[in-house]
Structures are given as C-alpha cells and as structure tokens.
Amino acid sequence: MQLSPRFKLFSQPIDRYAIGLVAILSIAIAILLWIGDRTAPQVRDFSWQGQRIDASNISFVLTFNRPMNRESVEQNLKFEPPLAGKISWSSRRMSYTPLAPATYGKSYTVKLENAYDRFASESGKKIAIDPFTGLFKTPNPYFAYIGSQEEEKGRLVLYDVLQKEKRVLTPPNLTVLDFRIYPDRQKILFGAIEAVGQSLLDQKLYVVTTGIDREDRLTANSPEIKPVLGSDDFQNFKFDLSPDGKNILVQRLSRQQVGRYGLWLIKDNQAPRSLDNQPGGDFMFTPDSASVAIAQGEGVAILPLEPQAPPLDFLPRFGTVLNFGRSGTQAATIKFNKDYTRSLYLVNNQGVQKELTKINGSILGAQFDPQEKNLYCLLTDVEQDTAKNIFREKPYLAAIDLESAQLRRLLELPSQREVQFNISPDGQSILLNSAIPNSNASSNTPSSTEDSAQSTRSSQASQVPTQLIMLSVNNSDRNNLPQPEVLPMFGKFARWIP
C-alpha cells in the first residue's frame, strides 16, 4: 500500500520529534500564560552603590527588571539616615533627587521592600520585590583657615571636623595671605610672602597638598609645596581658582612697564598669559569655569577667558558680583545708590533684577545655599557714638528667602570689619570668624557686651584676635535662632573643603 504524500511528510523520525517538541512547548507556554510570571521584581542597578557622593551629585537612579507599581515603590523606599527628595519616572527607571545635599561624614542605607510590579493588581497575583539594600557615603568634613596665633600665625591649617585634629600645611617662613581649594580636595592654591624681608607687593602663588587621598583619608604624608607664579617681573594681587580647578586668574602689575595692569590666566599648568583686557576691579570665575565676572567702570562685565575678547554681557547698574548660585543661573550683586545706601540684588539669566534689601551700612559678603532658596549675607548696622562723634559698623549674619525677599537675622556680632563666612557644601553649617575681645571668656556665643562694642575699626580693633565660629543652620525651624559654637582656634578665611 502506498502512502499519500501528506503521510509521507510525517513518516520520518525527525519530523515526529519536531512535532512532539512543538506540542510540548505549546503546552508550556499555555501553562505559563495561565499561571503568569512568578519571577519576583528586582532592582537591577543603583547608580550610587558603594560610591562616595558629594554635593555635586544631584540625583541617583534605580533601574528595575520590569515596570513597577510606582506608588508601592515610593511608599516603601526608605533611607537611613533620612534623606528627603522628589521622585520622577521613565519606564523602568526611577530618579531620586534629594531636596538638599546628603550630610557630609555620613554613611547612608537605601532600602526597598514590599513593592510590586505594575501588573500585580490586575492579575491579582502579587509577588513582592526582592528586598534591596543600597549603600553610599559622603565625604568627611574638613575645612582650612589661616591661623593667627602662636605657631599657626600666618600659616595654612587643615582641620578634620570628625576627628577634631589639625594639620599645619605651610612652613613658618611663609605668611599666607589668601587661598583657594581645588575640587578634588587634594590641593590648595595659596598666595604668600616670605615672613622676613618682603612686603604684600611680593606675593607669590604656591600649591600645597592637603594629605587627603582619593579614599577621603587623611594620610601621614608630609605636605608638599610647589611654586606656581613668581613676583620678579610682576606684582601679584587678587587671584581666583576656577570651580573645575583647571584655571587660575591673577591680577598683575608690571614692574617694568608703567600702567600695564590686568588679568593673567594660568590654564592647565601652562605658562601665564595676559588677557589684555580692561583691568577692572573685583572679579570671580563664573560657575561654568569658562568666563569671569569683573567690575568695570559703573557695571559688571562677563568676559570670556580669551585675550582681548569683548564682554559676553554687561550689568551697568551694579558695582560687583558677590556670589553665583551653584547652577550658574543667578547671582548676588551690589548696587551703590546715589543716596549712599547699598542694595543687595538677585540677578538671573532670565533678565530678572530683584532688590532683596537696602541698607545704610555695608554688604560684606553673600553666599547661596546649595538649593539656591536662601541667600546668606553679612551686613552691617551703622551706629553713632554721639559722645565721641564717630560712627561704628556692627555686622550681623542674615538669611534672605529668595522668593519672598524676607530677611531673617541669625547672629549679631561685635563691632568689627575683618569678618568672613563660608557655607558648608551640604548646607548644614556656616563657618565664620569673629573678634572675641575677651579671649578668656568661656561663653559659647560671641560677646555682645559693651566691651565687645568697643572693638571698632581702629588699629587697636584690627589686632583683636578673631576666633572661628561654627553655626548649624536648620532652615526648617524658623522659630529658633541657630546656636553658634565657638571653636578652639583663632584665624581667618575659614573655608570648607568641597
């Protein structure tokens, strides 16, 4: 009997095996579709896992193996210690942006459990996510300052806040005048003169290592100092370091050519070159490190870092720029009014020029908090001593809400002029120096007695030692003033390590 071609097609063993395999796979697929996917949801990647996160890290990303029920993830995401933030989604990726930088010197744990995938509620078969634990840490807090007493006088000092240890970075034969800190935390640019036989006009620039390694540990290595810029042919005045640490700007005056004065650029450790532009006055780098804001005439010019380049922008109403926000979109500026008052303005890249406050005294400094919601500033009240017919300026630290322009006084200081402040990278603390006329006082707050008020801008007042003060800032508690802590060290220009 001869088989038809249809039956001949399935007569071979391999054909029968193929048909059987197809049948088995079809049954398996049907069963899988009927019972659903029993694989638990998982976190595939955590972008901050095991990393050291500083204030420049804006957000992290959690990537899941499947689309998630977003509400269940947001409700069950936990931080220890707490880290408030806002969440955004893109498919299987969740982005978390902290409302404020994570506090320095902490180890953080991120936990997620009891979350479900997107289709769990539809199928009625909820399988909880595999419990996830992520870890990251923040840099240890350090700051540097110029000492003013005993063996620290005129020397650059590094302070470890957690270990409460000091390290003197510069030798006694150099008197440090000012400094800037590199973003990698490993070096500090400073200007100094030799302690014997030199004047302020002989300032030279150097770089010194901090001893902080890439693992954020303070090593036992001795500081290494390298010269950056001499003063044989030029007098060096103010200098600044770009936020990315690649460029240095210095105001210089030629010792040979009369009137040759202006900005010089040291780029990527190359030889300095003149920008050949109008010399101007006070200046600072913009946050993008690509240009400089400099006071020129009756305004502020934004100049590119190119020789003889025309200004990118000009703000004719303002005398100087005090500080840029971290985003680079807004700046704090001073306007000198015709009635001899001063106004503090907020200027942004949308053309907004908003007056924040107007005072009769001086505006000594201003700095944005990391979120750019508040502007901290050092202002002065003018007080008249009718008996001696003199005027005194009494400084105070204040915070201005940038949305409402409401000013809140935080700390009253004794009458003095040489006072500076600096906000920590995480926005938690403020460092400042203040005259403490009675150095034996045991109070934890700056003196505000009549003795303190006698510390004026005279030569005697300039010799009063300035002690460092740390002020913890809590923006959420506006009913209580922050309590200052007087640190056991004397100095000036205290600045946090980034």
For range 81-92, the mean pLDDT: 95
Residue 288 structure tokens: 């993008």
Q: What is the 3-state secondary structure (H, E, C) of the chain?
A: CCCCHHHHCCCCHHHHHHHHHHHHHHHHHHHHHHHCCCCCCCEEEECCCCCECCCCCCCEEEEECCCECHHHHHHHEEEECCCCEEEEEECCEEEEEECCCCCCCCEEEEEECCCCECCHHHHCCCCCCCCEEEEEECCCCEEEEEECCHHHCCCEEEEECCCCEEEECCCCCEEEEEEEECCCCCEEEEEEEECCCCCHHHCEEEEEECCECCCCCECCCCCCEEEEECCCCEEEEEEEECCCCCEEEEEEEECCCCCCEEEEEEECCCCCEECCCCCCCCEEECCCCCEEEEEECCEEEEEECCCCCCCCEEECCCCEEEEECCCCCEEEEEEECCCCCEEEEEEECCCCEEEEEEECCCEEEEEECCCCCEEEEEEEEEEEECCCCEEEEEEEEEEEECCCCCEEEEEECCCCCCCCEEECCCCCEEEEEEECCCCCCCCCCCCCCHHHHCCCCCHHHHCCCEEEEEEECCCCCCCCCCCEEEEEEEEEEEEECC
For range 402-407, the mean pLDDT: 94
For residues 231 and 437, give the distance between their C-alpha atoms in angstroms, rounded to a whole number: 37
pLDDT of residue 123: 57
Residue 438 structure tokens: 């009675």
Closest CA to 52 of 145, 168, 136, 128: 136
Q: Name the one residue in this structure whose structure tokens are 């010019």.
A: 301
Residue 166 structure tokens: 């000091």
pLDDT in tens, 275-287: 886 667 889 999 9
pLDDT in tens, 228-254: 999 999 999 999 999 999 999 999 999
Instruction: Report the share of the chain in percent with pLDDT over 70.
Output: 86
Asked whether the predicted pLDDT for residue 309 surpasses 90, the reply is no
Give burial (CB, 10 Å; 0-12/13-18/19+) of 7. exposed
Do the beta carbons of residue 336 and residue 321 sit within 8 Å? no
Asked whether the predicted pLDDT for residue 442 surpasses 60, the reply is no
> What is the band of 195 on the pLDDT scale with cuts at 50, 70, 90?
confident
pLDDT in tens, 93-103: 999 999 999 99
pLDDT of residue 389: 74
For residues 484 and 498, give the distance between their C-alpha atoms in angstroms, rounded to a whole number: 22
15 φ/ψ sector (left φ>0, alpha ψ -120 to 50, else beta): alpha
pLDDT of residue 202: 92
pLDDT of residue 453: 33
For residues 101 and 56, give the distance between their C-alpha atoms in angstroms, rounded to a whole number: 8
pLDDT in tens, 19-76: 777 778 777 676 655 555 557 889 999 999 999 999 989 999 999 998 999 999 999 9
pLDDT of residue 417: 72
pLDDT of residue 27: 76
Asked whether the predicted pLDDT for residue 454 surpasses 50, the reply is no
Q: How far is CA 203 from CA 2, 152, 157, 234, 251, in A?
A: 110, 19, 19, 10, 11
pLDDT of residue 351: 86
pLDDT of residue 4: 53
For residues 104 and 123, give the distance between their C-alpha atoms in angstroms, rounded to a whole number: 45
Asked whether the predicted pLDDT for residue 203 surpasses 80, the reply is yes
pLDDT in tens, 346-388: 999 888 899 999 999 999 999 999 999 999 999 999 887 777 7
385 forms beta bridges with 390
Distance of CA 379 to the CA centre of its chain: 22
pLDDT of residue 70: 93
pLDDT of residue 269: 78
For residues 16 and 424, give the distance between their C-alpha atoms in angstroms, rounded to a whole number: 76
pLDDT of residue 256: 87
- Which contiguous run of DSSP H or E holds residue 132? strand 132-137
For residues 359 and 407, give the distance between their C-alpha atoms in angstroms, rounded to a whole number: 12
pLDDT of residue 478: 60
pLDDT in tens, 311-350: 888 888 898 899 999 988 999 999 999 998 999 999 998 8
CA-CA-CA-CA dihedral for 200, 205, 211, 217, to nearest 10: 100
